[in-house]
Amino acid sequence: MTFGSRYAEALAQRGRLCAGIDPHADLLREWGLPVSVAGLREFAQACVAGIAPVASVVKPQVAFFEQFGSAGFAVLEETIAGCRDAGAIVLADAKRGDIGSTMAAYTTAWLDDESPLCSDAVTVSPYLGFGSLAPAIAAARATDRGVFVLARTSNPDGADVQTATTDGTTVAQSIADSAAAVNAQSPGTVGVVIGATRDHGLDLGALGGPILSPGLGAQGASAADLARIFGDADHSWLLPAASRSILRAGPDVAALRSAVESTRDDIERALR
């Protein structure tokens, strides 16, 4: 199966929600865990047990594992494997972006079968030029995996770059158009990241790929905002994302599962 078809099947079976695993120090403390590798592992194991069996897509935030060095990456490897074993699509939120052989090495780390970090998809940054992502896109096409490209993010500072125009086209729109060009040949290979916290101003009619939309819950967006913000987009590709609003239900595994199901159901009602 291609990544696009696996993605569509997962959303049809489990609903439109990307649940983040963000082991932020404040959340570890809220759960009564130490801010250490031991606390990280206990947090991640609860997330795998409570979130991965019910969420269509699980998004580990790589930075919160990376801060613990090699031991943190070992926990991330366990987390990725556990989520995939539970039937979830794993989107590594690594936001990698570079040129040439360096980008190729990042691609090997996140999209190669032989890598212990291998995921179903990875977030990437196009701000060294969309063409710099060629190694990741080529690998994704060859292995039926996906890349999610930052386009119109929810952070206020991003607007300075993303809404800048060249020949009347914003940078964010050019990224969406470049993703659409790839998807015209390999449907669903390239997704875009577009925040749910404000109007994005993009034409997504030709995208033909996933739309990861973070911002639900802790960042202020609600499920009801989605239908308005993405009114002209193909909602079958839309993947709203929530992290801390779900994770605050922990450490109880059943409560985490309930939070995923409740958030997903709110999204499905809003988009229906």
Q: Which amino acid is at 180?
A: A
Q: 69-85 vs 37-50: helix axis angle to the nearest 10?
A: 10
Count of beta carbons in the 10 Å neighbourhood of residue 181: 13
Whether the Cβ atoms of residue 248 and residue 27 lie closer than 8 Å to each other: yes
Residue closest to 213 by CA, chosen among 9, 4, 7, 20: 20
**CB-side neighbour CA atoms (13 Å) of 267:** 30
Strands 89-96 and 169-170: unpaired
Amino acid 193 reads V
Token pair for residue 169? 């086209």
Dist CA 196 CA 68 (whole Å): 30
> Which element (helix H / strand E) includes 91?
strand 89-96
Catalytic residue from among 95, 198, 235, 248: 95
Mapping DSSP to helix (H, G, I), strand (E, B) and coil, where does residue 120 land? coil
C-alpha angle 82/32/24, rounded to 5°? 60
Q: Are 192 and 186 in contact (CB under 8 A)?
A: no
- In degrees, rounded to 5, the angle at the alpha carbon of residue 197 between the alpha carbons of residues 191 and 201 is 65
* Element holding 69 (H helix, E strand): helix 69-85
**95 assigned to active site:** yes
- Which residues are the active-site residues? 95
